[in-house]
């Protein structure tokens, strides 16, 4: 009855395709894990959805041409195909053309399935009824075999009538949720049939035109050649890829002075950042937050379409010049408000994707050379190429300031394009200028009309709350006063919003308080010690950023460093930024074969995050997970410093604990541990100040691996709510694996047994309250289809993976603090790794999810114990 994987293996050449090998059929897991399902969106000879159910150690598979429907009236054809290996459930990527199933694959949904009745008998009879618990699909479904003739069995996939059912005319889940549940990939289907022939003809014509313009590529249907920016100049690092559905822009870091090295400088425009997406010759314009502004700039969209590109992503800024020819943000605002888009000029400065090729891995100069050729051959009053300069930055900045420009943008020569904020792009400003949250306004005085001044606020990175930042009363025209007042009045509130350092006394006369939603772009001479702006000038309102993200923008100190624009540079870079008394031996030793990460890569990672991880390690006993031969070799869990020659390592005497312990809380000790093969750092729940009384407890949410991430997000929210009801503040971090860690800080007054008993009682309470979701018993057989809340790591000597510490797993993921509202969007607890966490930290801009942790003063009370049924000792 059960097919083997012979047919799957016969159809594939695994040395040429990234698909997982079959390696024979796995044995059933005897109830140690829930049965998994997945649905893969597959753009092969035609776009379809592959529906797969785990049974007997393989994935039973059906190709569903139209995809699943939530409408019970839709009987979706499902063609039975060969069994696939269980590893296929997480496969995403590109199957090369010419191979079986050639095309792009993403995991559209995944989760667990539960058969109604005996599944083998139902499968044999051709009538499977089952419940799904996925990221997107839920409820009861049916697979019914038909009697229709064909080379392969033809079934129907049908949704049952239940709470999850929706009429197709009301909601199309395929259209509403098109992307992957495992990654940020969004599959953009390629055209087929007559549409494909039309695109092919257009692309070949564009390729010919592109060759004449200097951007060369072979016509479709032939072996692709290297893309070229100019004749004889290859776009090194370009790769074939489908057109992305969305793109996040690279952002610049504010610095206090020009850094040394090879940089290219452009004018910093006083406008809106806009990305252009061109598909089949049609252009759309998006803000940095992904809002579609095409309708607001129709002439610019038409000018982009006149470039003759089939597919592209372009990056730039839209501006309006004043009478002196200088970009003026307020003039841009006026142009949008009065629908005079013809005054807007779109300055283009980067090309990220071009006619089937992803260019984000191409060095800066080559990307810009390609863009210059594209824009230069299609002059337009609405499009411009943003020139760069290789001159001295200080001279350029002085000239820009004399011309009343905002400043300069510097881009490191040879750098690649990353959709984040990093040190490869910098900004130098002529004056202090940034966004502020508008928290109120004053009544006008004298001849002034409408309002007097705007009251400003900024978010405090430590508390997350708003603080008063002064006011701005100049820079308004009569027209802008009226326009802005109309936007202020609907936001009025009767009481002052929570605002630290708020004005008092006479300063409050005539103040109208507002919901903190509007943003004002303000230039100012300086900021006082109290945090208020002086000599402020209003430049315009903004709506392209969230108010919650606005805090004081402080320039970073410039430090000379070697450019790390590609993986080779990182891997083989010198270790000059490591602690001077630590030498990394065998720096090229591979730690993780899946990414090629080396011992030096790991040392550089821990050096870069030292300011983040060392506070987590400070004065806290630690255990090390060492992988001397890489993570595929034998791992050693070491709790004391015996035989480890690590500079700066400390030990604690028996007054702390009966167990020998070590502390690694200096840069030398941290990197010295990496030199000795350490990958992971696990910390105690107590510090060296008081080893008998823990200062925190940790709950580790450990899921059945088959559960969808949605189940983990919901479980995290429920546990946080339970802690909140008890009156306990908690903090979240990813485990770097499958689950989440919830950390609850405490005053160190209770002993180990008291804290562990409390954690155990809380977990038992959750398991009794929601037995279908949670388990309070360890072991795979006790968490089938559930999440085990591990409280066991709260005993004396037990440890938890440290925040910002790497994990000895494929890809070297990292345990990362997150805010509760981030959890649902993560998709995995291994979201960041040692190669990508830097982007996350740069994006935080001081907004630490664990800000305020050290200020929490709380303990376990008798009332809390009574609520959980813990008897007094």
Could you tell me which of 192, 194, 225, 191 has the C-alpha nearest to residue 210? 225
Higher-pLDDT residue of 268, 399: 268
Task: Identify the band that residue 230 occupies on the pLDDT scale cut at 50, 70 and 90.
Answer: very low
Task: Identify the burial level of 869 via C-beta atoms within 10 angstroms of its C-beta, where 0-12 means exposed, 13-18 middle and 19 or more buried.
Answer: exposed
CA-based angle 561:567:568, to the nearest 5? 85
pLDDT tens digit sequence for 445-466: 777 788 988 999 998 876 778 9
pLDDT at 164: 93
Segment 809-829 mean pLDDT: 93
DSSP label of 142: E
247-428 has CATH 3.30.470.30 classification: yes
Q: Which of 26-35, 49-58, 456-465 has the highest average model confidence (pLDDT)?
A: 49-58
Is the pLDDT assigned to residue 228 strictly greater than 60? no
Is the pLDDT assigned to residue 83 strictly greater than 80? yes
Is the pLDDT assigned to residue 769 strictly greater than 80? yes
* CA dist 193 → 50, 199, 214, 629 (Å): 21, 10, 31, 52
Is the pLDDT assigned to residue 357 strictly greater than 80? yes
For CA atoms 223, 227, 232, 235, give the dihedral sign: negative
DSSP string covering 74-86, please?
--EEEEEEEEE-G
pLDDT tens digit sequence for 274-325: 999 999 999 999 998 788 999 999 999 999 999 989 999 999 999 998 777 7
pLDDT at 780: 86
Is the pLDDT assigned to residue 478 strictly greater than 60? yes
Segment 70-75 mean pLDDT: 96
pLDDT at 702: 95
Higher-pLDDT residue of 493, 527: 493
Tokens of 562: 């070697």
Do 750 and 763 contact (CB within 8 A), yes or no? no
Tokens of 395: 């001279």
Do 821 and 783 contact (CB within 8 A), yes or no? no
Is the pLDDT assigned to residue 199 strictly greater than 50? no
Tokens of 674: 């990496």
pLDDT at 378: 62
Segment 388-401 mean pLDDT: 76
Q: What does the radius of gyration of the chain's CA atoms come to, in whole angstroms?
A: 30
Tokens of 226: 């290297």
Is the pLDDT assigned to residue 566 strictly greater than 60? no
Could you tell me what percent of the chain has a pLDDT over 90?
A: 51
Is the pLDDT assigned to residue 195 strictly greater than 70? no
The pTM score is 0.59
pLDDT at 343: 85
pLDDT at 31: 58
Do 805 and 815 contact (CB within 8 A), yes or no? yes
pLDDT at 704: 93
Q: Which of 176-180, 274-278, 379-383, 394-398 has the highest average model confidence (pLDDT)?
A: 274-278
Residues near 380 by beta carbon (within 8 Å), at least 6 away in sequence? 303, 306
pLDDT at 229: 40
Residues near 585 by beta carbon (within 8 Å), at least 6 away in sequence? 675
| 247-428 against 432-549: fold identical | no
Higher-pLDDT residue of 203, 479: 479
pLDDT at 496: 87
Is the pLDDT assigned to residue 505 strictly greater than 80? no
Mean pLDDT, the chain, rounded, equals 84
pLDDT at 641: 75
Could you tell me what percent of the chain has a pLDDT over 70?
A: 86
pLDDT tens digit sequence for 3-13: 578 899 999 98
* CA dist 494 → 465, 602, 733, 738 (Å): 19, 54, 38, 47
Q: 3-state DSSP call for residue 59?
A: strand
Do 158 and 66 contact (CB within 8 A), yes or no? no
Q: Would residue 268 show up in a list of annotated catalytic residues for this protein?
A: yes
Q: Which residue among the candidates 268, 710, 733, 756 is catalytic per the annotation?
A: 268
Element (H, E) at 468: strand 466-472
**For helices 709-726 and 752-769, what crossing angle results, to 10°?**
120
pLDDT at 631: 94
Is the pLDDT assigned to residue 817 strictly greater than 50? yes
The percent of the chain in helix, strand and coil, each rounded to the nearest 5, is: 25, 30, 45
What distance in Å separates the CA atoms of residue 39 and residue 180, rounded to the nearest whole number? 10
What distance in Å separates the CA atoms of residue 86 and residue 682, rounded to the nearest whole number? 32
For residue 94, the tally of other CB atoms under 10 A from its CB is: 16
HSE of 362, CA atoms in CB hemisphere, 13 A = 26
Q: Which CATH class is domain 432-549?
A: mainly beta
Is the pLDDT assigned to residue 337 strictly greater than 50? yes
pLDDT at 186: 59
Is the pLDDT assigned to residue 349 strictly greater than 90? yes
Higher-pLDDT residue of 32, 772: 772
Annotated domain spans of the chain: 6-163, 247-428, 432-549
Task: Identify the burial level of 125 via C-beta atoms within 10 angstroms of its C-beta, where 0-12 means exposed, 13-18 middle and 19 or more buried.
Answer: exposed
């Amino acid at each position: 009855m059960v097919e083997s994987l012979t047919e799957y293996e016969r159809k594939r050449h695994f040395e040429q395709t990234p698909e997982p090998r079959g390696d024979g059929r796995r044995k059933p897991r005897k109830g140690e894990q829930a049965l998994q399902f997945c649905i893969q969106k597959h753009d092969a000879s035609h776009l379809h959805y592959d529906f797969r159910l785990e049974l007997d150690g393989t994935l039973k598979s059906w190709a569903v041409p139209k995809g699943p429907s939530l409408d019970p009236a839709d009987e979706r054809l499902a063609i039975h195909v060969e069994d696939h290996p269980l590893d296929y459930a997480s496969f995403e990527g590109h199957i090369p053309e010419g191979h079986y199933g050639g095309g792009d694959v993403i995991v559209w949904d995944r989760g667990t399935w539960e058969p109604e009745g005996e599944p083998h008998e139902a499968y044999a009879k051709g009538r499977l009824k089952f419940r799904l618990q996925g990221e997107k699909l839920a409820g009861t479904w049916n697979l019914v075999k038909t009697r229709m003739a064909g080379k392969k069995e033809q079934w129907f996939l049908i949704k049952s009538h239940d709470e999850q059912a929706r009429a197709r005319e009301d909601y199309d889940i395929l259209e509403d949720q098109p992307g992957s549940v495992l990654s940020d990939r969004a599959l953009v289907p390629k055209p087929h049939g007559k549409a494909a022939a039309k695109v092919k003809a257009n692309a070949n014509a564009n390729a010919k035109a592109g060759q004449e313009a200097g951007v060369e590529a072979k016509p479709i249907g032939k072996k692709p050649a290297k893309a070229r920016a100019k004749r004889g100049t290859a776009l090194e690092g370009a790769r074939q890829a489908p057109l992305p559905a969305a793109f996040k822009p690279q952002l610049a870091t504010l610095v206090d002075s020009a850094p040394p090295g090879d940089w290219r400088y452009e004018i910093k425009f006083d406008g809106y950042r806009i990305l252009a997406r061109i598909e089949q010759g049609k252009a759309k314009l998006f803000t940095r937050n992904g809002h579609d502004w095409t309708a607001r700039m129709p002439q610019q969209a038409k000018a982009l379409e006149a470039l003759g590109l089939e597919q592209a992503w372009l990056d730039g800024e839209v501006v309006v010049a004043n009478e002196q020819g200088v970009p003026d943000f307020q003039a841009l605002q006026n142009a949008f408000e009065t629908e005079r888009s013809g005054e807007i000029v779109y300055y283009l400065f980067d090309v990220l994707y071009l006619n089937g090729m992803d260019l984000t891995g191409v060095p800066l100069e080559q990307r810009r050379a390609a863009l210059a050729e594209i824009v230069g051959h299609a002059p337009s009053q609405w499009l411009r190429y943003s020139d760069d300069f290789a001159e001295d930055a200080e001279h350029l900045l002085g000239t820009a300031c004399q011309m009343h420009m905002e400043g300069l943008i510097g881009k490191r020569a040879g750098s690649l394009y990353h959709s984040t904020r990093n040190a490869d792009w910098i900004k130098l400003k002529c004056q202090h200028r940034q966004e502020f949250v508008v928290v109120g306004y004053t009544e006008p005085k004298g001849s002034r009309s409408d309002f007097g001044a705007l009251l400003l606020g900024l978010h405090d990175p430590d508390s997350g709350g708003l603080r008063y930042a002064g006011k701005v009363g100049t820079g308004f025209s009569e027209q802008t006063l009226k326009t802005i007042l109309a936007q202020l009045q609907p936001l009025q509130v009767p009481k002052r919003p929570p605002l630290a350092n708020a004005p008092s006394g006479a300063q409050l006369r005539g103040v109208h308080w507002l919901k903190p939603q509007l943003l004002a772009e303000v230039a100012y001479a300086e900021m006082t010690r109290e945090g208020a702006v002086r000599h402020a000038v209003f430049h315009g309102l903004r709506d392209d950023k969230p108010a919650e993200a606005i805090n004081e923008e402080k320039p970073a100190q410039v430090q000379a460093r070697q450019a790390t624009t590609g993986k080779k540079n990182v891997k083989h870079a010198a270790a000059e930024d490591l602690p001077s008394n630590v030498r990394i031996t065998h720096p090229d030793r591979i730690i993780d074969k899946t990414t090629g990460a080396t011992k030096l890569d790991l040392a550089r990672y821990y050096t870069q995050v030292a300011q983040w991880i060392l506070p987590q390690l400070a004065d806290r006993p630690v255990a090390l997970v060492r992988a001397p031969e890489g993570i595929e070799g034998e791992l050693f869990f070491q709790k004391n410093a015996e035989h480890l020659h690590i500079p700066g390592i400390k030990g604690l005497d028996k007054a702390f604990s009966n167990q020998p312990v070590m502390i690694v809380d200096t840069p030398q000790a941290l990197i010295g541990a990496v030199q000795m093969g350490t990958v992971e750092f696990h910390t105690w729940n107590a510090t060296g100040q008081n080893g008998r009384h823990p200062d925190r407890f940790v709950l580790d949410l450990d899921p059945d691996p088959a559960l969808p991430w949605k189940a983990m997000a919901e479980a995290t929210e429920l546990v946080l709510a339970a802690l909140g009801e008890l009156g306990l503040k908690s903090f979240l971090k990813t485990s770097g694996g499958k689950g989440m860690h919830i950390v609850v800080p405490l005053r160190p007054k209770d002993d180990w047994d008291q804290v562990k008993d409390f954690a155990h009682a809380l977990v038992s309470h959750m398991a009794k309250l929601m037995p279908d979701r949670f388990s309070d018993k360890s072991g795979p057989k006790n968490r089938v289809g559930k999440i085990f809340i591990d409280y066991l790591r709260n005993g004396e000597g037990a440890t938890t993976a440290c925040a910002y510490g790497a994990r000895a797993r494929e890809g070297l993921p990292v345990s990362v603090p997150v805010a509760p509202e981030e959890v649902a969007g993560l998709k995995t607890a291994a979201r960041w790794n040692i190669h990508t966490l830097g982007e996350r930290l740069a994006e935080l801009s001081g907004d630490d999810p664990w800000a305020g942790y050290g200020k929490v003063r709380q303990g376990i009370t008798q009332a809390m114990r009574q609520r959980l049924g813990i008897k007094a000792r």
